[in-house]
Amino acid sequence: MMASTRVRWALPVLVGTVLVLASGAAQAVPVTIQNPSFEANVLADGAFVLTITNWSFSGSDTGTFNPHAAAYPGGVAPDGQNVAFISAGSAPGDTISQVLSDVLTAGVTYTLDVEVGERADGLTINTYVIQLVAGGAVLASDSSASPAAGTFATSTVVYTATGAEAQIGQALEIRLVATVGGGNQINFDDVRLDAARQVPVVPGVGLAFLVVALAGLGLLVARRV
C-alpha cells in the first residue's frame, strides 16, 4: 500500500477517535425485558388468552392476542405474531406491567419504546399512557402516539437519571396503562428499553491522542518515502 493511501485511510480514523474522546460518547445497551413482544403463548390467528406470560396485569379483559386480518392488514403484528391487549371489560387504570432486574442508575438516559395499535375492525383505541417507573414512582410517561385504524405507532418515553432521585438503585418497571375503560381496545407490542451511559470527558485526552497519533503517522510516511 502506498504511503499516501495509508494517510488517506488513517486520517479519518484518527479524527473520529479524537472527536469521541473529546466529546464523550453515549453507549446504549438494551435492558432485558422478559417476553417483550408477547410471543410466549403460541396462538392461532385470531385466538387470544386472558394471560400474559412474564407480565403482571389487572382487569378481567386483558391478555395476549394473535391478530387476524380484520384487525390489522394481513394479521401482521409489529414484531412476531402476538400483541398484548386491554379490552372492552377494562376499567380506567387497568395496567400491564413488568418489574425489571435493572435498577435506576445515575448518569444513564433511558429510552422506552412501545408499539401502540388501533384495530381496524371497530374496536377503536382506548386512551392510554406508557410509563417508566422506579421504586413505584413514575419517572416519565408518554401518550402521544395516535395510530390510524389498522396500524401501530411508536410511543417513546425518555428519562435521564441525574442521581438526585430517591429511587436510585431501585428496580425499573414498565407500565402500559389504559386510562379509560369501556367498549374499546388498545394493543401493545415490541416493548424495548435502552440505557445509554455518557462516557466521561477527560480534558486534554483527545488533543494528546491526536498529537501522538499524528507523530506516528509522520514516521510511517517518512519510512515509506
Q: What angle do CA 89, 90, 94 make, to 5 degrees?
A: 160
Going by pLDDT thresholds of 50, 70 and 90, the confidence category of residue 184 is confident
User: pLDDT of 85-139, one tens digit each?
Assistant: 998 666 778 999 999 999 999 999 999 999 999 999 988 888 899 999 999 999 9
Asked whether the beta carbons of 104 and 167 are under 8 A apart, the reply is yes
| Calpha distance 147→119 (Å, rounded) | 9
3-state secondary structure of 4: helix
**Selection from 39, 194, 43 nearest residue 109 by Cα:** 194
- The overall average pLDDT reported for the chain is 84
**Selection from 178, 177, 206, 181 nearest residue 17 by Cα:** 206
pLDDT at residue number 18: 46
**Ramachandran quadrant class, 143 (left: phi over 0; alpha: psi -120 to 50; beta: rest):** alpha
Per the model's pLDDT, the better-predicted residue between 54 and 24 turns out to be: 54
Q: What angle do CA 203, 161, 176 make, to 5 degrees?
A: 145
pLDDT at residue number 125: 85
pLDDT at residue number 219: 46
Going by pLDDT thresholds of 50, 70 and 90, the confidence category of residue 37 is very high
Evaluate if residue 1 carries a pLDDT over 90.
Answer: no
Mean pLDDT of 189-201: 87
Evaluate if residue 208 carries a pLDDT over 70.
Answer: no
First to last CA, the chain: 12
C-alpha cell at 174: 414498565
Asked whether the beta carbons of 110 and 161 are under 8 A apart, the reply is yes
Asked whether the beta carbons of 107 and 129 are under 8 A apart, the reply is no
Q: What is the pTM of this model?
A: 0.79
- Report all structural domains of the chain as residue ranges with CATH numbers, in order of start: 26-198 (2.60.120.260)
Asked whether the beta carbons of 43 and 66 are under 8 A apart, the reply is yes
